[in-house]
Amino acid sequence: MTATSMTATSTTAIGTLAARLRTVLGTDRVISDRQELRTYECDGLAQYRVVPALVVFPHTAAECAAVVKACAAAGVPFVARGSGTGLSGGALPHADGVLIVTAQMRRILELAPADERAVVEPGVINLQVTRAATPAGYYYAPDPSSQQICSIGGNVAENSGGAHCLKYGFTTNHVTGVEIVTPDGDLVRLGGRAPDAPGYDLLGAFVGSEGTLGIATEVTVRLVRLPETVRTLLAAFDTTDAAGAATSAIIGAGVVPAAIEMMDALAIEAAEAAVHCDYPAGAGAVLIVELDGPAADVEAQFVAVERLCRDNGAFEIRIAADDAERALFWKGRKSAFAAVGRISPDYIVQDGVIPRTALPDVLRRIGEIAAEHGVRIANVFHAGDGNLHPLVLFDDAADGQAARAEAASGAILDLCIEYGGSITGEHGVGVDKAKHMPRMFTADDLDTMQLVRCAFDPRGLSNPGKVFPTPRLCGEVPGRHKGAHPLQEAGVAEVF
Amino acid sequence: MAAFDDDHPPRADLINDCVHCGFCLPTCPTYALWGEEMDSPRGRIHLMSQGLGGEPLSDSMVTHFDRCLGCLACVTACPSGVRYDTLIADTRQQVERRHPRPLRDRALRAAIFALFPYPRRLRLLRGPLRAYQASGLRRLVGRTGLARHAPTLAMMESLAPTLSRPVRLPERIPPRGPRRAVVGMLTGCVQSAFFPDVNAATARVLAAEGCEVLIPRTQGCCGALSVHAGRRSEARAFARALIDAFSGGDLGHRDLDHRDLDYLVVNAAGCGSSLKEYGELLADDPAYAERAAALSARVRDLSELLVELGPVAPRHPLPVTVAYHDACHLAHGQGVRAQPRALLRAIPDLELREIADPELCCGSAGVWNLLNPEPARQLGERKARDVLATGARLLVTANPGCLMQIAAAVRRLGSATGDSTTGRCSAAGDSSATGGVAIGLAHTAQVLDASIRGLPVDALG
């Protein structure tokens, strides 16, 4: 089959599918205008752009299932997208596929603070859950920096983290049940309201599956009691080494802060330019340490944290006097990624994990990587759990800089692996890091993961091209099967 | 044909500042309504970029630009400092010059812009409007199919405030006590025709705070409605005339140049925002560029000036609960949020309450509600519900458009709950009966005026 005839075939298939979807959703909710389609060509990671063949907006789980069923019947791949803020290209569209946008499924279906549960549609904004629960004295704990706009559905797909995940855990620790559309178009429930459903932890497999196992259409989340007290301090250090040592000292002392966040000088410069957060002048690094919980515990630990910061060289410590000041401390941190746009035309947000104790070494090595590649690297990270977010600054218009930045960014991931860490802490693999997966996992590891995927999506229609470096296994798809899987050969597994 | 020509297309460097993070989405009224990328700031910037890349100015592209309210909430929300305000303004004037609109749309726009920027024409409407309101026809019209057949007309009808008697302000008002500043005062179009009490209150407050107030009769429209709709050459003409009005002989008995004014005070958010941008609007006009920039530098919102000067007039207690609504062109356009709140809090016995989602536009947005009646209605009702949820007795804001829009929405909510009483809403603060929920409406100036003069709360509704 030639390229031309293939395109023609897929165009016809899309045309037929579009007509079918319009009968399901109505004409308004199926987009095929080229310019409108192009506004969906990327998510929060704009380096990758693919224009989808169609964009659709289901309003209900049943509509979403009908869309997926129609795609499955037509053999057309589909990609789910929430608010389009992901940083790994997880919602990058498929050129011959349908982009299913869940942004209009944004009802909070049930709020049951007494049961510590809320049931929401996937398009509900993360912060909206907290805002809805706050009057009853509860909130939704996982707080990605984009919490004011990222969707719960996207959080589930990416198993999103956030500053406060150090103490409270990631999305997976706060979702007790989901209703999903399987890649065949069936509505299925995984988990429920109870914390730990019997049988295989399919919910655990689904959370963080990056859209490759289906689309969440309803999510039951845990609500957490608002803490009695929250205390936040901002400590300024001369160097990231000192700030890193303070972090280790705090955790080593048995304190579990709600968050410990670090920013280096370049990240501070960007945040100042963007939101005028007025961090201490001349700081080589700042730490934001937040403690929450019962007042008596927090007060005692707060004294210890302050002392440990000073012992490790903090030259200025500010304590938030009220919610407004706390918000200002956080504003600098939470705006940091986008704020880098103020000091650099382009940048790559990297996401990696290292053992917390390796922090000073790794930061020094990152400095060396920056020098070697002739780029600037700003560091913002969840210091408490060693989740780094180096920001590699470059100018796309300058010759060769983009390639050097990309190389530096990749070198940082190698560094994370070298220190026994991971190539992603919370942003997911998506399209961006699929190529790095073989650095962290063996071919056997990846094939085993692929077997899980095939159990849900044997035809590889649900968000293809993400997570895995190359499409493989899924026995039924002709031309993709490259020999028997090692597990098959060993007689311990068979292809579905 | 490419979407844009060389006459101020949206600037590529400003477009490239957008890193596609999406932080603007939740504050965008149309994204809040529809949840679609192309009706969000991020999507519109993408469309502008497509236009620069050679895509034509299609009907669909224009629709998405047109649907932008120009509220500028995204400018506040953007961590990367994207100048969406400049981008949409440049885009709009390209659309107005280059995109042929359907006849009906063209006629509607022509009618709107033949009426609103002309205070005298607006004042001519007052007589018939008062007669109409007095006749009880309003209730009758409410039950007819006007909304279905002529949505813009129906929207205009619903917006019209109950009129109070016209007020004619003198050209010069002396300060009470020692003179602290010489200020020019903009009376506006809608403000002067429909809310003359607001202007009177503004002048009294300024005088009480030691300002000599100059109000040239020759002043006309500042051009805000035109510039925000992309009618740039029309806006420039208005701007030149206004600069002249606040210069030289037009300032009455005193031979003052506008440079002798310490400040030019504005009590309408949209006007203040556009006056502050005269420098940019007339940058290409050698005869006016310098004067425009000089005038812009002197422009202050009333609340901004009062905080800068500091109070001298004693405040009397005003025991009332107030919900303060941020007008977009004050909060997002001029960054004025703290000053009006500080002035209100300084009034003894006044309790200030915050409205949920304060960054979200009420849907008025200049003439946007006339051009987009249905979504404007939805936004207005959303805002009205949030306002009523505060339980405040009085809604205070600093823009005539917001006052009319929210008043109309409160009235609709009232009739939707089964109470057919026609709420009387005016900037003078008449209360709107709304199915058991009543809220008065007032401009910041009126609240300050009442407190300074020691008027009872009832004077405000």
Is pLDDT of B276 > 90? yes
Please check whether residue A496 lies inside any domain of the structure. no
Helix (H, G, I), strand (E, B) or coil at A236: strand
Contact A82, A102 (CB under 8 A): yes
For residue B46, which residues of chain A lie inside 8 Å, CB to CB? 38-39
- Please list, in sequence order, all residues whose beta carbon lies within 8 angstroms of the beta carbon of residue B281, skipping any fewer than 6 positions away: B223, B227, B232, B235, B236, B239, B274, B292
pLDDT for res B443: 96
Among the listed residues A84, A28, A77, the one whose alpha carbon sits nearest the alpha carbon of residue A56: A28
CB contact under 8 A, B19 and A43: no
pLDDT band per the 50, 70, 90 thresholds, residue A495: low
Is pLDDT of B154 > 70? yes
User: Which residue does chain B place closest to A340, by CA atoms?
Assistant: B80
Question: What digits encode the pLDDT tens for the residues B91-150?
Answer: 999 999 999 999 988 988 988 898 888 887 887 777 777 676 666 666 656 556 666 667
Question: What digits encode the pLDDT tens for the residues B365-417?
Answer: 988 999 999 999 999 999 999 999 999 999 999 998 999 899 999 988 876 54
- CATH number of the domain enclosing A408: 3.30.70.2740
One domain for residues A188 and A240: no
Is pLDDT of B156 > 90? no
One domain for residues A152 and A237: no
CB contact under 8 A, A38 and B17: no
| Residue A32 burial (10 A CB sphere; 0-12, 13-18, 19+) | middle
Among the listed residues B422, B423, B403, the one whose alpha carbon sits nearest the alpha carbon of residue B198: B403
One domain for residues A399 and A291: no
CA-to-CA separations, B131 to A182, B124, B135, B137, B163, in angstroms, rounded = 64, 12, 6, 9, 10
Please check whether residue A495 lies inside any domain of the structure. no
Instruction: Report the percentage of chain B scoring pLDDT > 90.
Output: 69
Among the listed residues A230, A113, A118, the one whose alpha carbon sits nearest the alpha carbon of residue A163: A230
Structural domains present in chain B: 12-98 (1.10.1060.10), 314-460 (3.40.50)
A198, A225, A252: which is the final residue of a domain? A225
CA-to-CA separations, B355 to A327, A419, B303, B325, in angstroms, rounded = 19, 50, 19, 7
Question: What digits encode the pLDDT tens for the residues B358-367?
Answer: 999 999 998 8
CA-to-CA separations, B304 to A68, A237, B335, B342, in angstroms, rounded = 55, 38, 10, 10
Tell me, what amino acid is at B200? A
Please check whether residue A379 lies inside any domain of the structure. yes
Pick among B4, B31, B36 to test the A interface (most A CBs inside 10 A):
B36
Please check whether residue A33 lies inside any domain of the structure. yes
For residue B50, which residues of chain A lie inside 8 Å, CB to CB? 35, 38
In order, the DSSP letters of A343-395 are: T-SEEEE--EE--GGGHHHHHHHHHHHHHHHT-EEEEEEEGGGTEEEEEEEE-
Helix (H, G, I), strand (E, B) or coil at A66: helix
Q: Is B399 left (phi over 0), alpha (psi -120 to 50) or beta?
A: beta
DSSP strands (E only) in A42-93: 54-56, 78-81
Is pLDDT of B452 > 80? yes
A421, A440, A459: which is the final residue of a domain? A440
Is pLDDT of B424 > 50? no
Helix (H, G, I), strand (E, B) or coil at A317: strand
- CATH number of the domain enclosing A90: 3.30.43.10
pLDDT for res A491: 61
Is pLDDT of B22 > 60? yes
CB contact under 8 A, B25 and A83: yes
- CATH number of the domain enclosing A298: 3.30.70.2190
Residues β-bridged to residue A348: A392
Is pLDDT of A108 > 50? yes
Helix (H, G, I), strand (E, B) or coil at A32: coil
CB contact under 8 A, B34 and A338: no
pLDDT for res A472: 57
Question: What digits encode the pLDDT tens for the residues A127-179?
Answer: 999 999 999 999 999 999 899 999 999 999 999 998 889 999 999 999 999 99
CB contact under 8 A, B79 and A44: no
One domain for residues A348 and A430: yes
pLDDT for res A493: 57
Q: Give the integer Cα–Cα distance in Å for A130 and A147.
A: 10
Q: Give the integer Cα–Cα distance in Å for A255 and A301.
A: 7
Pick among A28, A38, A39 to test the B interface (most B CBs inside 10 A):
A39
Is pLDDT of A374 > 50? yes
One domain for residues A243 and A328: yes
Q: Give the integer Cα–Cα distance in Å for A215 and B345.
A: 49
A58, A82, A101: which is the final residue of a domain? A101
CB contact under 8 A, B35 and A39: no
Q: Give the integer Cα–Cα distance in Å for A130 and A138.
A: 7
Helix axis angle, B119-135 relative to B103-115, nearest 10°? 100
Number of separate domains in chain A: 5
Please check whether residue A420 lies inside any domain of the structure. yes
Contact A237, A284 (CB under 8 A): yes
Q: Which of A39, A44, A125 sits opposite B43 (nearest CB)?
A: A39
Tell me, what amino acid is at A42? C
Place of tokens 């063209």: B106
One domain for residues A112 and A202: yes
User: Domain containing A334: what range?
Assistant: 228-339
Q: H-helix or E-strand containing A290?
A: strand A285-293
Q: Convert A298-336 to b/e letters by CB count within 10 Å (16 or more is b).
A: beebbeebbebbeebbbeebbebeeeeebebbbbbbbbb
Q: Give the integer Cα–Cα distance in Å for A472 and A462.
A: 14
- CATH number of the domain enclosing A154: 3.30.465.10
Query: Could you tell me how many CB contacts below 8 A there are between chain A and chain B?
Result: 89
Of residues B151 and A256, which shows the higher confidence score? A256
Question: What digits encode the pLDDT tens for the residues A165-179?
Answer: 999 999 999 999 999
Q: Which of A43, A106, A339 sits opposite B79 (nearest CB)?
A: A339
